[in-house]
Structure 1
Amino acid sequence: MFHSVIGILVFLILISLPAIISSINIIPGRMAYVCEVLGKPQRRPLKSGLNFTIPFITTISYKISLQQRQVETLSEVKTKDDVFIEIRWVLLYSVRDDDDAIFNFAYKVTEPVKRLVFKVENEIRQISSTMTLSELYSQRNAIASQVIADQTTDALESGLDIHNVTIEQPMPPKVIQEAMNNKLAAIARKDAAQAEADAEMVRRLGIAKAEAMSKQLQGEGIANERKAIAKGFAEAAATLRSSMTDASEDAILALMLNVNQNDMVTTASRTGKATVIFVPTDMNMQNITSTSAGRFIPTPE
């Protein structure tokens, strides 16, 4: 009898052993298992570690990774200036480590990742259609930021977190690349010609300013020279009046004018390059001689 009981127990253990083993679930890290009890989804998933389920009643419906994943896609877009180019972009996403998010990822939307990729691609195309090709080159990061801001809430409804969207350098057709290079080269040549013209204008303006300053200084020199001559004449006349009290004003003036003419002729003969000197006919040598000798010519009444 005892042996029969032991045999029955061993038999029952052997029969239930697979069920016992199947009720033990060791879940790896960064994984979540969504279970159903008699076909009813459970909102609380099984997390990493040792977990137990009820055999034949609880089934594991979804095994969901919580690690970050990426999708790389090549999309053709049309720019505002009617250029068709291909843009390669990368979507970095993950299932949020939250019970409701995991449940929504499993049951709310069919193929949530595929849906998210479609929406991101569609928005990239829409934004690109409002930009020119040059703007698309320079504002890739702004486009990615706008896509993340617009799609984060919608993605979270499916249990997904968007970590980053990277838009790589657009690749226009070879013909467009050559046209862009030619345009940039033409702009560079235009800028160089403009810079050269500006430099020439600055140079000429500098020369004109220098000439104007030179003439101004020359005029000031001539004016100062004339002031000095006038001052010298005034001082000479005053000296003559004080030392030659008997001489008339006309005699003093005639003496000064003739002395000045004689100095001019003498200076020209010494420093000039001319071989012939024409002496003015109105030089009154008699007055000069008489005045120098002290015989003054009376002033006409």
Structure 2
Amino acid sequence: MGNIFIYVLLFFAVLIFLSSFFTVKQQTAVIVERFGKFLSIRHAGLQLKIPIIDKIAGRINLKIQQLDVIIETKTKENVFVKMKVSVQFVVIQEKVYEAFYKLQYPHDQITSYVFDVVRAEVPKLKLDDVFERKDDIAIAVKRELNEAMATYGYDIINTLITDIDPDIQVKNAMNRINAADREKSAAEYEAEAQRIRIVAKAKAEAESKRLQGQGIADQRREIARGLVESVNVLNEVGINSQEASALIVVTQHYDTLQAIGSDTNSNLILLPNSPQAGSDMLNNMVASFSASNQVGESIKQGNLKKTATKKKNEEDHHTHDSHEHENPETE
């Protein structure tokens, strides 16, 4: 029995000895109390305490932590939105005592301040301004939290508004507005493109017409030049201009008939189209030329007579004026 008692005492002695040592992890602080009263703050490494008398009251995480707060509030135009605010905070190493003893639930405290600031700032803004000025809201939250939490040993690293979710009906309306704006812009771009195409087409057609007219004018000029040369050649062999013109027309007539006949897919019928047609055309042309020459000669003779009469009247008037100047006493 004596040996057993000794073994038991040794066992408890070892346990007590081992309980005197404890380790603290990196980026962690341990609060040690003696008889319920604060004794010291221990940091990373192997630490020693008096068994039974000293005890570990708690551990404080010194790493940067993040708290996500979901808030539902309304904007200036009474549109309800859900906002997600992410708060990054850390315990100040020099203020571990305040962080442990002054504040029991830091997450709840931070959440309350976030609610208070967001619900004070967002109702002043319209929905579009909430999206545009979310950074300003985040700055206001950080400023308020820093002032409040520094007393409790917490430092606010950053605050971010990571999500803004309006009511589903408002979201659908915003999507319809955006779709309508995009359709309007697309219609304007399409109209501008159509206008550009129409203007370009009109300019191209105008240029085509100009070049076509110039080509026709050049063609007719060359035809007229060729006709003049042909008439001059025929005049040299004793054919007058009227007969030469008639001959050229008849030749072109038969050339046209030959060109039409060579096209196998042509359904054109030229009337009249008999051997006598060319002769009739020639006689009609000669008669027309003769009639036009006679009319031209008549007009020419009439103009000559008028000119002679006018000249005679002017001479008589001049002679009468001369006699009046030579005999003024007769009057």
TM-score per shorter chain, which class? 0.5 to 0.7
State whether structure 2 residue 67 is matched by structure 1 residue 89.
no
1:122/1:148 CA distance change after superposition, 3 Å: closer
Counterpart selection for 2:288 from 278, 282, 290:
282
Q: TM-score, normalised by structure 2?
A: 0.54
* Residue of 165, 175, 195 corresponding to 1:171: 165
Q: Which residue does the alignment assign to 1:293?
A: none
Q: 1:32 aligns with which of 29, 34, 41?
A: 29
CA distance in 2, matches of 1:207, 1:129: 56
* Structure 1 match to 2:325: none
Q: For residues 217-228 of structure 1, what are the structure 2 equivalents within 5 Å?
A: 217-228=211-222
Is residue 69–residue 92 contact of structure 1 (8 Å, CA) maintained in 2? yes
Q: Quote the Cα distance in structure 2 between the aligned partners of 1:48 and 1:227.
A: 109
Instruction: Supply the distance in 1 between the matched residues of 2:229 and 2:122 (Cα, whole angstroms).
Output: 90
Compute the displacement of 1:232 (Å).
Answer: 3.3
Aligned residue type for 1:282: S
Secondary structure at 1:275 match in 2: coil
- Unpaired runs of 5+ residues, structure 2, are 1-8, 261-267, 294-331
Verify the 8 A CA contact 2:91 2:155 in the aligned structure 1: yes
Q: Deviations over 1:214-260 (max 9, x none)?
A: 212211211221342354356557x649x94x98xxx9765664455
Q: Could you tell me which amino acid in structure 2 is paired with residue 217 of structure 1?
A: L
Query: What are the superposed Cα offsets for residues 159-218 of structure 1, whole Å, 9 maximum, x if unpaired?
Result: 435456454443322322332343344345444544554454445345423422321221
Structure 1 match to 2:198? 204
TM-superposed deviation, 1:114:
4.3
Contact 1:258/1:284, CA 8 A, preserved across alignment? no
Q: Which has a greater percent of helix?
A: 2
Q: 2-side partners of 1:51 and 1:191: how far apart?
A: 71
Closer, same or farther in 2 for the Cα pair 1:202/1:104, shift >3 Å?
Answer: same
> Superposition pairs for residues 105-144 of structure 1, below 5 Å?
105-106=99-100, 113-125=107-119, 128=122, 132-134=126-128, 136=130, 142=135
Percent identity, aligned pairs only, is: 25
Tell me the C-alpha RMSD between the 2 structures.
5.1
CA–CA distance in structure 1, aligned partners of residues 35 and 230 of structure 2: 136
1:45 has 2:51 as partner: no
Preserved contact between residue 118 and residue 141 of structure 2 (Cα < 8 Å): no
**182, 202, 213: which one aligns with 2:207:** 213
Written as runs of structure 1 = structure 2, the 5 A alignment for 1:37-76 is 45-52=41-48, 63-76=59-72
The letter for the 2-side match of 1:88 is K
Change (3 A) 1:77 1:66: same
Residue 264 and residue 121 in structure 1: after superposition, are their counterparts in 2 closer, same or farther (change >3 A)?
Answer: farther
Number of aligned residue pairs: give it.
261
Task: Tell me: CA distance 1:209–1:95, structure 2 relative to 1, closer, same or farther (3 Å).
Answer: same
Pairwise CA distance, 1:47:
0.7
String of CA shifts for 1:250-295, please: whole Å, max 9, x gaps. x97656644554445445665574414764442359x9xxxxxxxx
Checking the alignment, whether the CA contact within 8 Å between 1:240 and 1:252 is kept in structure 2 is no
TM-score (norm 1): 0.58
Counterpart selection for 2:174 from 161, 177, 180: 180
Between the aligned partners of 1:81 and 1:220, the Cα distance in structure 2 is: 69
Counterpart secondary structure, 2:46: strand
Q: 2: distance between equivalents of 1:226 and 1:28?
A: 110
CA shift in 2, pair 1:222/1:101, >3 Å? farther
Distance 1:72 1:153, change over 3 A: closer
Greater C-alpha Rg:
2
Q: Which runs of 5+ in 1 are unaligned?
A: 1-12, 288-301
